[in-house]
Structure 1
């Protein structure tokens, strides 16, 4: 390879690295706009940054609802696939990207739990898991985890958002696509169910 060709190749690599660095500094909202772009390379890079940036966070959300490692991974993967296939579903004027995507992951996790029969839900319950070690650090958390597995998925999701994620009630209601009163009802019924289980 000639010196000129080497210089050109090196310049191209530097340009690619610079673009990647610049994209890493983009907000989620800017990246989702690029995922809708016609240029395939730009679209893929923006998408891969979103996936790398948010996979662990959304895995933990999905896991807290499904209480299964594989199901949580499937939920996150299918949610990102939905984003890849339909990036224009996100409407910038209605919600931030993370809030909107939280809704997608949360609803997918709830739908997964609804499809399972009660016996399958108990069979699939995972108490020990290396990826969820940060969720279940001690015996009290394992007891709570077990109790959460016994309440309906929407109640569990509401409790997780408001009490574990410390979301404002309006934000949690928006994600679940319900009103504040309905959210308060879910929280009340969920807390009562947990109290009964933990007695």
Structure 2
């Protein structure tokens, strides 16, 4: 559980850093369109970029720690935005061959790919639980037909969103992350 929690925190921190852009994008997309990387206008990352990111992520977090800016100690989105948008970090990322937007894109996509892989792993059990819940709702004599229908529709919507989670990441990226998921989780866990 600790490993999953740490890399999930990385996703939340990274997403919080781009909260204003994400909020603007959500208002344009509508609430039912799902999450898109705020850096979505970029090309999918390559295997070479993933390898570079895996090499550089620990250095970036160490740099942040050395400069008194531990990502894991951020208390609000403005703190996080300062970490990822500050001139010093921008210069540091450029010295490693990254633009801040590209590094941000790869960071968000790695986290989304890991979450998609995790979701795929959990889908069979989740689907089974949802189907059991639907059966219980259908058999519940204390619910009206309208209540049953509304509740079942909500469960189906959740099931559909869970099933479509990996659609939010390019398949080429997912294919690169899957075989490296344990190593990526370890990198995120040890350097967050």
TM-score by length of 1: 0.27
Pick 1 or 2: higher relative contact order, CA cutoff 8 A, min separation 6. 2
Q: Which has the larger radius of gyration?
A: 1
